[in-house]
Amino acid sequence: MATQTATTGNLEDAQAILLSTARYTAEHNMPVAGLVEHFKLAKGSKQLTVPKVGQMDAEGLVDGVDLINSQGIGLTTTDLTTAEVGLKVILTYKLINQFNEDVFKMIGRQMGDAEARYKDEALIALFSALNGGTVLGADGIKLYLSNAAAIVTYATAQKFPTPVSVVHHPNALGFLSRNSQGIGTTYWSGWMEGVSEELMRNFWDIRINGVNFFHDGNIAKESGVDSGIGAVFSKSALCIIEGWAPLTETEKDISLRAHEVVITSDYGVFELDDGYGAPLQNEIGTLSTSETS
């Protein structure tokens, strides 16, 4: 009987399924990434410098009187750099030989979840720095409709450029939905403007006065309390810069009788404009499932 071994064809099939599933899962499981600016680092460059100009002030004039005052551009810049992120999966000859598409899709989902969680948590970590660290809300405050409306009004008054989004923990938005009685009904009209519906539909909860509210389970509780930090922000407040998209490479490990599949990517996340967002502190403890009123 011929000895059964892992074939190149099986490895290629497994690798293709792993990569495509991982990419799809990652793309669809990091909601914050779908709401911020994206930049590409040019080949041969180590950083991208993004300029921002300040506001100028006009003034009234009098006929025959010289215009004396001049305005400054108020130019500031943000330097964007990238760093490598990756993970490795070991596929044994035996596993590849017993090729099962569902198994490799499962592994691909695990890899995609890991990629997405890492990038999403990096963006969430930037929330607390927005608005100079001045937090809207506080520990013990639930995200009720009146508070949500005040958040949207704050963003409007501070002239956040559209589109503006709110991202918070599912439990925070659960309090909002219960309080507003608007689950999929009252606030449904006009949803998802300004973002990719394909990527964000599973995270969207409600829309209030032109601002979409999204949930993100990667937001964690603050130490010692039941509240967590979400954010209200313009797309122009935060960004991702990408050096290269997820890249897959394989290496044969003869003594282990396996192939190493390594996926790497090169990117960075940054705060572009501190004034175009604000952190939100609200309760994210588990909602009661047994209340009678």
Task: Please give the Cα distance from 237 to 167 (Å, whole number).
Answer: 13
Quick check: 17 pLDDT over 70? yes
Residue 112: in which H helix or E strand, if any?
helix 101-124
Let me know whether 76 and 161 are in one domain: no
pTM above 0.85, yes or no: no
Let me know whether 35 and 146 are in one domain: no
Q: Which of 77-91, 105-119, 174-188, 206-220 has the lowest mean pLDDT?
A: 174-188
Let me know whether 208 and 264 are in one domain: no
Burial 95-105 (b: 16+ CB within 10 A, else e): bbeebeeebbb
Cβ count near 92 (within 10 Å):
14
Its domain, for residue 214, covers: 126-238+274-283
> Residue 135 is part of a domain; what is its CATH number?
3.30.1930
Quote the pLDDT of residue 279: 97
CB 5 within 8 A of CB 90: no
Greatest extent of the chain over all pairs of C-alpha atoms, in Å: 104
**What confidence tens digit (pLDDT) does each residue in 242-270 have?**
998 877 788 888 999 988 888 888 999 99
Read off the pLDDT of each residue in 20-35 and give the average, rounded to a whole number: 82
Let me know whether 212 and 249 are in one domain: no
Let me know whether 259 and 118 are in one domain: yes
Task: Please give the Cα distance from 95 to 73 (Å, whole number).
Answer: 62
Token pair 């396996």 is found at 258
In a domain, 288, yes or no: no
Quote the pLDDT of residue 235: 94
Task: Please give the Cα distance from 98 to 209 (Å, whole number).
Answer: 54
Give the three-state DSSP class for 67.
coil
Let me know whether 117 and 22 are in one domain: yes
In a domain, 1, yes or no: no
In a domain, 18, yes or no: yes
Quick check: 14 pLDDT over 80? no
Let me know whether 178 and 232 are in one domain: yes
Q: Which amino acid is at 4?
A: Q
Task: Please give the Cα distance from 93 to 28 (Å, whole number).
Answer: 31
Of the ranges 63-67, 92-96, 289-293, the best mean pLDDT one? 92-96
Let me know whether 147 and 251 are in one domain: no
β-pairing, 164-168 vs 211-215, is: parallel
**What confidence tens digit (pLDDT) does each residue in 95-122 have?**
877 777 777 788 888 888 888 899 999 9
Quick check: 237 pLDDT over 90? yes
